[in-house]
Amino acid sequence: MSENEKNSKNFIEEIIDEDLKTGKYSTVHTRFPPEPNGYLHIGHAKSICLNFGLAEKYNGKCNLRFDDTNPSKEEEEYVNSIIEDIKWLGFDWQERLFFTSDYFDQLYEYALILIKKGKAYVDSLTYEEIKEYRGKPIEPGKESPFRNRSIEENLDLFERMKNGEFAEGDYVLRAKIDMSSPNMNLRDPIMYRIKHETHHRTGNKWCIYPMYDWAHGQSDSIEGISHSICTLEFENHRPLYNWFLDELGIHHPRQIEFARLNLNYTIMSKRKLLELVEGKYVNGWDDPRMPTLSGMRRRGYTPESIRNFADKVGVAKRDSISDVALLEFSLREDLNKRAERRLAVLRPLKIVISNYPENKVEYLDAVNNPENEKAGKRKIPFSRELYIEQGDFQEEPHKKFYRLAPGREVRLRFAYIIKCEEVVKNSEGIIEKLICSYDPDTKSGSGTSNKKVKGTIHWVSAEHSVNAEVRLYDRLFTVENPAGDKEKDFKEFLNPKSLEILNNCKLEPELSEAKIGQYFQFERTGYFVLDSKDSKKDNLVFNRTVSLRDTWAKISRK
């Protein structure tokens, strides 16, 4: 990390520094406040890393709070998946797991205070009338005829709303602010609406539920939050956030907005993601192609790589679309250090070493991880019949191709240098196998030969190999900003080749012992993990997390 990165602070840290300096707040206390109505995605991860990261950095605290004010959309299932995802990312809220619904009683009391101050009233306008009276951004709204009910009447009506005497839509509680404000959020915003629904935590205790604006700031206040960090679309809500707190005269956190994460070649909207799931364009929320944390976990992303990525994209107020290449860089950077190497042939081509004895088997040393000596070595079997990658042989080699070709030599990783003597084809002209010879003096590590070859390729012993299915993933969309087209639906940009299933892969025997959660590098091809859902002991399924950087692919394209 450069001096620059170490010392430079983002704008939120500068605000916090200032607040600490002036004594506005004495400690940093943040919160991550998801609504339990869907699965977390990489965009949420940025917010999680920001909030928990700030708390860590300033030696403060970060709460987890479920913003569950709308029983029609929220479910227990989501609470559990969100908790699992945040834990997986490696953050800890200790005993500070809260729900906005924990504060429903307090919120009700606060509402009473505002009614008594003449700052809130019960409105009887219909849904449509409220919309009409609110006006438009460019023209002022008008006041409800019920705006000046007496405090007593408001108190009575509000209590009866709470007691379930009215139907949904009959009444709402509104803050009395300014119907002509240029900020729409200040045109007498609704604080409570009637919903005769069962809440996932409070059951049927309530039939009035607070709106986001009424619940959020007060919940922050109750929890003693210092800095309430949210995304840009809440910027226009800040005056209202402040208004409620000022009228109530309670602890006043500072709301700060930042730009949400966007990534190219994918989408971040919950609604659109849901559309992909429900339309079966993907196989569930945890499809490895999804930008959900559950999908990324299943794909083989490490939590560290996501946290590093969140650090690298930074925090600012301008709308932006980050390059998925940076995410993949963070992934490879982490995996390179930790993933054990294995040999695996994805698209097998049989070779026979004609001068190698029929029944001989040698167990050769293979380094588990050149980046980490402690990872040690393992033995891999070598025999007369092997598989190599189809792409590592060219009958008429490209001018810069330095792998196997007729009459050419190449090194087999950890083994011998071999030479292609003969290409055997079937009646249709398809290559069936290669007959090769090996040079016994070139055994890996023996030092008995000075022979150098330009290429080294991976292989597995045919007899000892393990079969597996391997799933290769490509980006889900073919364009950088699939949601950015005003004419076309984002689904028109789905990449038809986002999933490729290979059924005849040959793995070195060690991989039959692979465990879910282990990260592997299949040498020269990429990083892989066992699929946590579909892999079985006798039917191995691996997911390719990400390919290795492939300079050869670039050269060969030219």
Partner RNA sequence: UGCCGGGUCGUCUAAUGGCAGGACAGCGGCCUUUGACGCCGUAUGUAGAGGUUCGAGUCCUCUCCCGGCAGCCA
Q: Binding to RNA by residue 169, rule CB under 7 A?
A: yes
- Interacting span for RNA (CB under 7 A) from 106-114, 297-305, 427-435, 453-461: 453-461
Q: Binding to RNA by residue 234, rule CB under 7 A?
A: yes
Phi first, then psi, for residue 543 (nearest 5°) are: -105, 135
Q: Which of 251, 312, 338, 533 binds RNA (CB under 7 A)?
A: 312
Closest CA to 297 of 268, 326, 331: 331
Minimum CB separation of residue 330 from RNA in Å reads 8
Structural tokens at position 79: 């609470």
- Interacting span for RNA (CB under 7 A) from 198-206, 284-292, 317-325, 469-477: 317-325
Q: Within 209-228, which residues bind RNA (CB under 7 A)?
A: 209, 211-213, 215-216
Cβ proximity to RNA: between 156 and 170 the closer is: 170
Q: Which of 130, 277, 468, 530 binds RNA (CB under 7 A)?
A: 130
Distance separating alpha carbons of residues 540 and 391, to the nearest angstrom: 23
Q: Is 471 an annotated catalytic residue?
A: no
Q: Within 468-507, which residues bind RNA (CB under 7 A)?
A: none
Contacts with RNA: how many residues (CB under 7 A)? 96
Q: Is 270 an annotated catalytic residue?
A: yes
- Interacting span for RNA (CB under 7 A) from 107-115, 149-157, 180-188, 534-542: 180-188
- Give yes or no for a contact between 117 and 156, defined as CB atoms under 8 angstroms apart: no
- Interacting span for RNA (CB under 7 A) from 75-83, 105-113, 346-354, 448-456: 448-456
Place of tokens 């208004």: 243
Closest CA to 385 of 432, 360, 350: 350
Minimum CB separation of residue 337 from RNA in Å reads 8
Q: Could you tell me the strand order of the sheet in which 499-507 lies?
A: 340-342, 520-522, 526-530, 541-547, 466-473, 499-507, 344-345
- Interacting span for RNA (CB under 7 A) from 90-98, 151-159, 199-207, 311-319: 311-319
Minimum CB separation of residue 481 from RNA in Å reads 10
Q: Within 235-264, which residues bind RNA (CB under 7 A)?
A: 235-237, 259
Q: What is the DSSP letter of 440?
A: G
Minimum CB separation of residue 188 from RNA in Å reads 10
Cβ proximity to RNA: between 445 and 496 the closer is: 445
Query: Count of CB atoms within 10 A of residue 523's CB?
Result: 19
Q: Binding to RNA by residue 232, rule CB under 7 A?
A: yes
Q: Of 147, 162, 195, 260, which is the active-site residue?
A: 260
Q: Binding to RNA by residue 125, rule CB under 7 A?
A: yes
| Rounded-to-5 percentages of helix, strand, coil across the chain | 35, 25, 40
Minimum CB separation of residue 277 from RNA in Å reads 18
- Give yes or no for a contact between 522 and 343, defined as CB atoms under 8 angstroms apart: yes
Beta strands per DSSP E along 102-196: 120-123, 172-175, 190-194
Structural tokens at position 362: 């040698």
Q: Is 254 an annotated catalytic residue?
A: no
Q: Binding to RNA by residue 380, rule CB under 7 A?
A: no
Structural tokens at position 304: 């560290």
Under DSSP, is residue 161 helix (H, G, I), strand (E, B) or coil?
helix
Q: Within 336-355, which residues bind RNA (CB under 7 A)?
A: 336, 341
- Give yes or no for a contact between 340 and 375, defined as CB atoms under 8 angstroms apart: yes
Structural tokens at position 412: 């087999």
Structural tokens at position 418: 């071999």
Element (H, E) at 348: strand 348-353
Q: Within 75-104, which residues bind RNA (CB under 7 A)?
A: none
Q: Which of 28, 54, 79, 172 binds RNA (CB under 7 A)?
A: 172
Distance separating alpha carbons of residues 461 and 358, to the nearest angstrom: 13
Minimum CB separation of residue 79 from RNA in Å reads 13
Q: Binding to RNA by residue 109, rule CB under 7 A?
A: no
Q: Which of 118, 127, 500, 517 binds RNA (CB under 7 A)?
A: 127
Q: Of 35, 340, 385, 480, which is the active-site residue?
A: 35
Structural tokens at position 44: 């949420």
Structural tokens at position 224: 């003693």
Minimum CB separation of residue 19 from RNA in Å reads 14
- Give yes or no for a contact between 386 and 437, defined as CB atoms under 8 angstroms apart: no
Q: Within 386-445, which residues bind RNA (CB under 7 A)?
A: 400-403, 411, 413-415, 442-445
Cβ proximity to RNA: between 458 and 506 the closer is: 458
Q: Which of 21, 280, 536, 554 binds RNA (CB under 7 A)?
A: 554
48 residue type, one letter: I
Distance separating alpha carbons of residues 544 and 350, to the nearest angstrom: 23
Cβ proximity to RNA: between 13 and 159 the closer is: 13
Q: Is 418 exposed, middle or buried (0-12, 13-18, 19+ CB in 10 A)?
A: buried
- Residues involved in catalysis: 35, 260, 270
